[in-house]
Structure 1
Amino acid sequence: MNYQKTILSAIGAGMLLWACDSKTEDSISLPEAPEGNNRKDISQDTAEVKLETIQLPENFSIDVWAANVPNARSMAVSDNGIVFVGNRQEKNVYALIDSDGDGKANYRYTLAEDLNMPNGVAYKDGDLYVAEVSRILKFPDIKNHLADPSFEVIYDQYPTEGHHGWKFIAFGPDGQLYIPVGAPCNICESEEEIFASITKLDVTAENPSPEIVAHGVRNTVGFDWHPNTGKLWFTDNGRDNMGDDTPECELNVITEEGLHYGYPYWHQGNVKDPEFGDQGKDESAYIAPVTTLGPHVAPLGMRFYEGSMFPDSFSKSIFIAKHGSWNRSKKSGYVVTSIAMDGNDTKGESTFASGWLDEESQEVWGRPVDVQELADGSLLVSDDMANCIYRISYSK
């Protein structure tokens, strides 16, 4: 990654000292916060959270990094530390800045309003890209235009269906923008090939056109590329109305383009769909998940951990935000989990952060959506229910 590494020091004071990749300490480098009509001071805002209930491994801690971020969903970080946030139920896109280095965001910029489910955000070469349901937008040179943002439409021919129409987006190692197109239903067999897929788009082309890289993907709202192999790993949300415990959601990997991951014929690799299973092929014709993640847990954002703050046991682990079930008789999910890696293989999933759900009362006060590593190695977690972003850090 071509951005500055940051080292957490003076923990008690909560100050961040910044160092360049050569580890030589220079002056503090923080993103600027220009004045503008779209800027709001959120330094004194608070979130309605119960952080005392959050359980983490030993020596980890959690704080609210940014409060008053309505329906905070997918995140992206610029090379100078600006955090961009999209949302699904609202219509805005935000930029958040910690301009004083106290470990919390103090300014929020509204970059766009009245958009159509602008869930996905991605940053590349100084530009911000935002995914609506049917359009991909580009905000040129955004870090120098926070106070006067503007956008252009890169592509506007994705389907307009709202069911699973919100998108997570990210740039791959090949420079292409990867964009999923969810199934327009709970379970159905669409005549249009682009549904239930992951596509990629060359945003530098004069007339870009999506290419499908994976079929049979019901609804992925999070993916990342393996640090060693460069292969794309993605979460996928299983279908509803097959009972509390079937099917499980999935974690998949794309080993080559054009493969089919089973939907709507097979789920979790080995569960035949009662409505559409007979219309498909044998289960061996489809790609089984690397691992299953539990029924109805709604795994959304996921990323490989490449930082140096956390213990070595977390190196290149996968962090997954499980948004939580919406119609299970006993709620599941509402946690952040980690999956340790043994080379290119998974070693098993563990609960990393929990407490948003009270298992006994079944009351919920927060729902994790996305995970995003900061340059200092701490982990941001967005919450679209508590309307905030947390920062999880580690100190011995």
Structure 2
Amino acid sequence: MPPRSARQLAALFTAVLALTVSCAIVRGPNTTAPNLGLTVPDGFQVSIYASGFQKPRLMALAPNGDVFVSDEKSGEVSVLLDRDGNGVLDSSQVYAQGLNIPHGVTFHGGFLYVATTDAVLRYPYQPGDVTARAAPEKLVDLPANGKHYSRTVVFGPDDRMYVSAGSTCNACEESDPKRAAVWVYDADGKNGRPYATGLRNAVGLEWSGETLYATANGRDLAGNDVPPEAFYIVKDGQNYGWPYCYPLSAGTKQVWDKDFGRKDQTYCDAAQPALATTTAHAAPLGLAFYTGQAFPQPYRGQMFVALHGSWNREPKSGYRVITIDPKTGATADFLSGFQSGLTTTARPVDLQVTPDGALLLSDDGNGLIYRIAYAGAR
């Protein structure tokens, strides 16, 4: 093994230090404090909506308004019922179980689609179903596990299926073209092809109108502040830089990753720029565009993003929800208070707008789903 540089040794020390504390720092929210002790804009209220999950991840709204959520640790997909629409959970029902790290969930054409670590499955679905009415049909084989093992599936306005899979590594050249990429398929899983490449781990994937947006987790061990986490408009046939490049700011050319040391700046000049960026290692995961009418006008149409939080940065970053203006790329804090020094009280994952205009937030550190509602400014 070649000798390590001082920068590499410092990064390795930071990583080891983080690993020694990261397994023990998540503590449950303070339920006795207003808004669970969290900071939100004036007029918003936060409450615990559902509990008892092992590792809840992505959510999807069913055609009848039920909310489906994946639990990758239990291997289940559950449905959250609020059939009277009063903003209080009626019950939670396991819809499907025995799945291999289920993650992405979405509805299309009379089916519930579930992306597991090694496949895209679909279940026949009729509005109101709370348990699967048949065994799932496997549509697509996906590369399993790896450093980034979660998979996301969404449908576009073209009725085609878009699937993202993360990389096996921090920075490497992948042998499987489905890694670190978004692929597009017909709704039945046929005619698959690469749609976008160079996305290290695009956990958040969402269409707004005719435009596809993605969150991206940047590489580790390049420093406390490099690279910033990035958010992209995902275009057909385009490359987004990883592992050779990374963005330093929104709207500018990406820079060559000298530590990785392959390709060159010319290659990076052709990579797609970021729409927006935020603090390095904040780990942006799920996103949702606010399509409801209950929040004040400035929040309508905004992109809400869950920052899962850093494992290898001191001071820590993330552990909050931010908004991004899709027109300008401007970012702003929306929900914070999950972090105090080395202690964190949640790991935000995904957001989902409900029929009554509230916003649900999953937390895989505590096995909770929060409800964020607007009650009016004081």
- Give the number of the structure with larger relative contact order, counting CA–CA contacts within 8 Å between residues 6 or more apart: 2
Query: Aligned partners of 1:90, 1:271: CA distance in 2, in Å?
Result: 40
TM-score, length-scaled by structure 2: 0.85
Query: Residue 86 of structure 1 corresponds to which residue in structure 2?
Result: 70
Change (3 A) 1:117 1:162: farther
**Amino acid in the other structure paired with 2:370:** Y
8 Å contact kept, 1:264–1:277: no
For the Cα contact (< 8 Å) 2:275–2:329, is it kept in 1?
A: no
Q: Is 2:279 the counterpart of 1:306? A: no
Alpha-carbon distance between aligned partners in 2 of 1:272 and 1:90, rounded to the nearest angstrom: 40
Matched, 1:122 2:106: yes
Of 218, 237, 243, 1:264 maps to 243
Q: Judging changes above 3 Å, is the alpha-carbon distance between structure 1 residues 326 and 390 closer, same or farther for their aligned structure 2 residues?
A: same
**What residue number does 1:374 align with?**
354
Counterpart for residue 43 of structure 1: none
- 1:106 match: 90
How far off is 1:148 after superposition?
4.9
SS class of match (2:333): strand
Question: Is 1:66–1:106's contact at 8 Å kept on the other side of the alignment?
Answer: no
Task: Specify the code of the residue in structure 2 equivalent to 1:284.
Answer: D
Is the 8 Å Cα contact of residues 302 and 318 (structure 1) preserved in structure 2? Answer: yes
Show the counterpart of 2:221. Answer: 241
Q: List runs of 5+ in structure 1 lacking aligned partners.
A: 1-46
Report if the CA contact (8 A) 2:139-2:188 is conserved.
Answer: no
Q: Deviations over 1:56-87 (max 9, x none)?
A: 00101111111212211100011211111112
In structure 1, give the amino acid aligned to 2:273.
Answer: A
Q: Does 1:224 align with 2:203?
A: no
Give the letter for the 2:208 counterpart: H
1:142 CA displacement: 4.8
Task: Report what 1:146 is aligned to.
Answer: 130
- Indicate yes or no: 2:261 matched with 1:274: no
| 2:295 aligned partner, one-letter code | F
Q: After TM superposition, give the deviation of residue 165 of structure 1 in Å.
A: 2.3
1:167 CA drift (Å)? 1.1
Q: How does 1:289-368 map to 2 (within 5 A)?
A: 289-341=274-326, 345-358=327-340, 361-368=341-348
Task: State the SS of the aligned residue for 1:95.
Answer: strand
One-letter code of the match for 2:29?
Answer: V
1:280 deviation in Å?
4.7
Describe the superposition over 1:200-230 as per-residue Cα deviations: whole angstroms up to 9, x where unpaired.
221236xx14221101000011122233xx1
Deviation at 1:381, TM superposition (A): 0.7
Corresponding position of 1:95: 79
5+ residue gaps, structure 2: 1-26, 248-252
Q: Which residue of 2 aligns with 1:186?
A: 170
Q: Judge conservation of contact 2:55–2:363 (CA < 8 Å) in 1.
A: yes
1:213: which partner in 2? 195
